[in-house]
Amino acid sequence: MSASATAPLRATFDRPLCDRLLYYMVLMRELEDRIESKLYRQGKVLGGCYTGRGQEAIPVGSAILSRARDWLTPSHRDMGALLIRGITPREILAQYMGRATGLTKGRDGNMHMGCARRHCVPIISSIGASIPVATGLAFAMRYRDESNVVFNYSGDGASSRGDWHEGINIAAVMRLPIVFLCNNNHYAYSTPLDKQMRIADIAVRVKAYGIPAEIVDGNDVFAVHTATQRAVEHARSGKGPYFIECKTFRMSGHSAHDAADYVPRGLREEWSKKDPILMLQKYMVEHAGADEQDFVDLRQRVLDEISEAVEWALNQPYPDPATVEDGVYEVR
């Protein structure tokens, strides 16, 4: 899990790319923070509330490589991927607040959102279920002889589910163009890895299906980015699926209600030293000519953007109760 593995490639991370990566990582961090530590506690968003705090490098470092016609199936820790696909903080906040203008028009809540137009499948709450679905999205690409790929996101917990194994195997057998991004954040809710599996690396499972799998430092956005580049190239050129296990840590409870007392304090402290945003900023200062003021300015810009979006969302209408039965079936 060493960040140094990516060192030789860093020359390719020029300032504009660094700026984009940082923008989306900070936007994800601050937007989720606003939702979790303000709006949720103020009762302005109801229901569950999951964040990907500490894991921002994974969705951002990978999804930034997606093309318009690719499809993504993000997990509940991947808000950055939605933002990169063009889903706006306004839409996300309206979704969290159950408003008519949210991405699911109030039909679903919190991170259970997506958008067909931006090729993001809304999160399927049944953990692991997105993996077979990714195979179908990819199958349709092959059917039409396209060079598009699917970015599938899941966690360590998903790899215990039958769907995960069925989907990974189908992807392997049919050589489908899928980039699997696994965030191994060491917990599935309260359950640590050693109670989930008798192996340390999920990549071991994947290799058994005949799919190339590599392990990267999931808090190093460059490591995620370069691995995804390899994976995308592999998948786009017809060589089949590719799996990337991103070692990371969930720097929050499972969701807002969870204090995560079950996490040994030392462990969280250790990981807090590897904050992906700070790691990127350090690199940018040392190698890309950035300074602290740039980061302060960026954060302020992001906070302003979020505040504007919160105001907008708070003024959005709720769905009309008369529409509760609409949209179950096609109306012809």
Ligand X SMILES: Cc1ncc(C[n+]2csc(CCOP(=O)(O)OP(=O)(O)O)c2C)c(N)n1
Q: How many residues contact Mg ion, by CB under 5 A?
A: 5
* Burial (0-12, 13-18, 19+ Cβ within 10 Å), 274: buried
Q: How far is the CB of 117 from other proteins (least distance, A)?
A: 10
Residues 113-172 that bind ligand X (CB under 6 A): 125-127, 155-158
Total residues at the site for other proteins (CB under 8 A)? 41
The dihedral of CA 197, 198, 203, 206: what is its sign?
negative
**Could you tell which of Mg ion, other proteins, ligand X, none binds residue 324, using a CB distance below 5 to 8 A set by kind?**
none
Min separation Cβ 126 and ligand X, Å: 4
Burial 25-54 (b: 16+ CB within 10 A, else e): bbbbbbbbbbbbeebbeeeebeebbbbbbb
The one of ligand X, Mg ion, other proteins, none whose footprint includes residue 329, by CB under 5 to 8 A per kind, is other proteins
Q: Candidates 32, 36, 70, 156: give the one binding Mg ion (CB under 5 A).
A: 156
Under rule CB under 8 A, residue 315 binds other proteins: no
**Is the Cβ of residue 61 or residue 114 nearer to other proteins in the bound state?**
114
The bridge status of strand 187-188 relative to strand 191-192 is: antiparallel
Sign of CA dihedral 241, 83, 108, 55: positive
**Number of neighbours of residue 280 by Cβ within 10 angstroms:** 27
Near ligand X in 62-101, by CB under 6 A: 75, 77
- Report the alpha-carbon distance of residue 62 to residue 214 in Å, rounded: 14
Identify the residue among 102, 155, 240, 276 touching Mg ion (CB under 5 A): 155
Is 107 near other proteins (CB under 8 A)? yes
Residue owning tokens 């003024």: 315
Task: Let me know: does 237 contact 223? Beta carbons within 8 Å.
Answer: no
Among 55, 66, 185, 228, binds Mg ion (CB under 5 A): 185
**Closer Cβ to other proteins, 292 or 330, answer by number:** 330
Q: Answer yes or no whether residue 121 interacts with other proteins by CB under 8 A.
A: yes
**Residues whose CB falls within 8 Å of the CB of residue 154, separated by 6 or more in sequence, listed in order:** 75, 127, 128, 130, 131, 164, 180, 181, 182, 183
Contacting other proteins (CB under 8 A), which of 5, 10, 19, 104? 104
- Ranges of beta strands (E only) in 191-327 are 191-192, 213-217, 242-247
Q: Of residues 181-210, which lie at the interface with ligand X (CB under 6 A)? A: 183, 185, 187-189
Binding residue for other proteins (CB under 8 A) from 56, 91, 163, 220? 163
Q: Looking at beta carbons, which residue is closest to Mg ion? A: 155
Q: Which of Mg ion, other proteins, ligand X, none does residue 158 bind (CB under 5 to 8 Å by kind)?
A: ligand X
Q: Is 306 an interacting residue with respect to ligand X (CB under 6 A)?
A: no
41 contacts: CB under 8 Å, gap ≥ 6: 256
> To 5 degrees, how large is the angle CA 147–CA 165–CA 52?
75
Residue 245 in the binding site for Mg ion (CB under 5 A): no
Angle of the 15-33 helix axis to the 221-236 helix axis, nearest 10: 110
Which residues are near other proteins by CB under 8 A? Answer: 71, 103-104, 107-108, 112-116, 121-122, 124-126, 129, 131-144, 162-163, 166-167, 169-170, 173, 327-330
Which residues are near ligand X by CB under 6 A? Answer: 75, 77, 125-127, 155-158, 183, 185, 187-189, 250
